[in-house]
Structure formats: structure tokens, C-alpha cells
Amino acid sequence: MANHKSALKRHRQSMQRRSRNRINKSIMKNAVKALEIAVTENSVDDAQAALKAAVPAIVRAAVKGTIHKKTASRKVSRLTKRVNALAANA
């Protein structure tokens, strides 16, 4: 454990950031999981609704610094591609 005043503060800050990052990442992962379920069930309407919920969650995680912006872009692109392919096949 840290002993100096500045090190104790840094530890407190890192714990706050960790909890914030975990919350953002959890929200993002749950939204993506709901989208994955909708895609596997071949439900076009549910998949499109889940995509509309997942994209802002992913972007929010990137804006907050939880994930890198290019990772967010890649995730959004791949999920959109899957939903569009599902809609085209239906």
C-alpha cells in the first residue's frame, strides 16, 4: 500500500477510474450481448433495435476513455455489417 500523500491520492483516483471503466464496459458488453442474441435468433427488428442501443453504449465507452476510439469504430462497423446482412437475407 502507498505511504506518501500523493501516492494515496493516486491510488484513490485509480480506484475511481477503475470502477467507472468497469461500469462503462459492462453496459457496453451487455448491449453487444443483446445484439448477438437478436442476430442468432434471426430477428431483424430486434437486431436493429439492439443495434440502436449498442452503438451509443460503445461510443460512450470510447469517449470516456474506457476503450480506444478505433476499437469502438471497429466494433460498431462489424455489428452494423452483421445486422445489415441479416436484414438483407430476410
Residue 16 identity (one-letter amino acid) = Q
DSSP letter string, 17-67: HHHHHHHHHHHHHHHHHHHHHHHHTT-HHHHHHHHHHHHHHHHHHHHTTSS
CA angle 33, 80, 74 (to 5 degrees): 85
Residues 24-83: tens digit of each pLDDT: 999 999 999 999 999 999 999 999 999 999 999 999 999 999 999 999 999 999 999 999
Q: Where are the domains of the chain?
A: 24-89
Name the pTM for this structure: 0.89
